[in-house]
Every structure is written in structure tokens, then in C-alpha cells.
Amino acid sequence: MVGSLGFTIEFGILVALVHGANWSPFLARAVAMATAFFCTWLLHRHWTFASGRVRSPLPQSLLYGTFQVISLSVNYGIFSALVLAGGLWRSYPVLAAVGSLSPAVISYVLSKWIAFAKPRELAKLPASEGR
């Protein structure tokens, strides 16, 4: 659900900037991705992953950001290759964005199992006797 909303945010910004404001599709995509990243982190933290609220926001956002950079780099690479290929992809860069959705799976798995995972409790060591 959050991923779909993030995609909708990214898609809306991309369309508005490329077709409405005549921006380069590369710059527009970078702005759209950054905005969607921030929105999805907030929504995942407060809604999707209940354990996300247990962790401190700073280290969690850095973990999430690292995984997003990996995922978004793959995503942006696919997008760029499609736009540079020309034709329909160049005329409608939104189609290239749709064509590069597969890295979303990478992002979700890394977020669920690492960034928003419940922090492990520290092992309680037995008190040493007479030492």
C-alpha cells in the first residue's frame, strides 16, 4: 500500500515536472524519487511496520536511505537506459518509470527485514560471582 502511494507520488511529480514545467526527465525523476523516498519512510515508520516506531529515527532513516539508494540506483539506471533508447520511452518518460518497478521488491525486503526490524535485545550476562 505504501509502495503504491510512493509510486503515485513519484509518478505525479514526474508528470507535472516533465509535461507541465518542461523539465528534463532526468532531473524531474531525481526530484520525484527523493520526495517519494521521504514520504514512504514516514509512512512505513508510522503505519506499515509497527516495530519501526521502536527504533530511533536517525539510524533507521540512514538504514532505510542506504537501501533506497541501492534500489533507486538500479531503478534510475533502468529508467535512464529506456529514456536514452529513444522512441516512445523518450516521448513518455512515465512509461520508463513504470518499466523500472522491479527494484521495489528489493527495497521492500531490505526495509522489512533490516531497516524496520525489531531491534535485538541485548543478551543479559550473568553476574560473575566472587570475581
Residue spans of the domains in the chain: they are 2-115
- Residue whose grid cell is 533506497: 68
Band of residue 127 on the pLDDT scale cut at 50, 70, 90 = low
Which residues, in sequence order, are CB contacts of 5 under 8 Å at separation 6+? 39, 40, 43
- Residue 123: its pLDDT value, please? 42
Residue 6's pLDDT is 87
Task: Tell me what pLDDT residue 31 has.
Answer: 95
The grid coordinates listed for 68 are: 533506497
List pLDDT tens digits, range 10-25.
899 999 999 999 999 9
CB 84 within 8 Å of CB 64: no
Indicate if the pLDDT at residue 74 is higher than 50: yes
Q: Is pLDDT at 45 greater than 80 in this prediction?
A: yes
Q: What is the pLDDT of residue 96?
A: 62
CA dihedral 114, 103, 67, 54 (to 10 degrees): -40
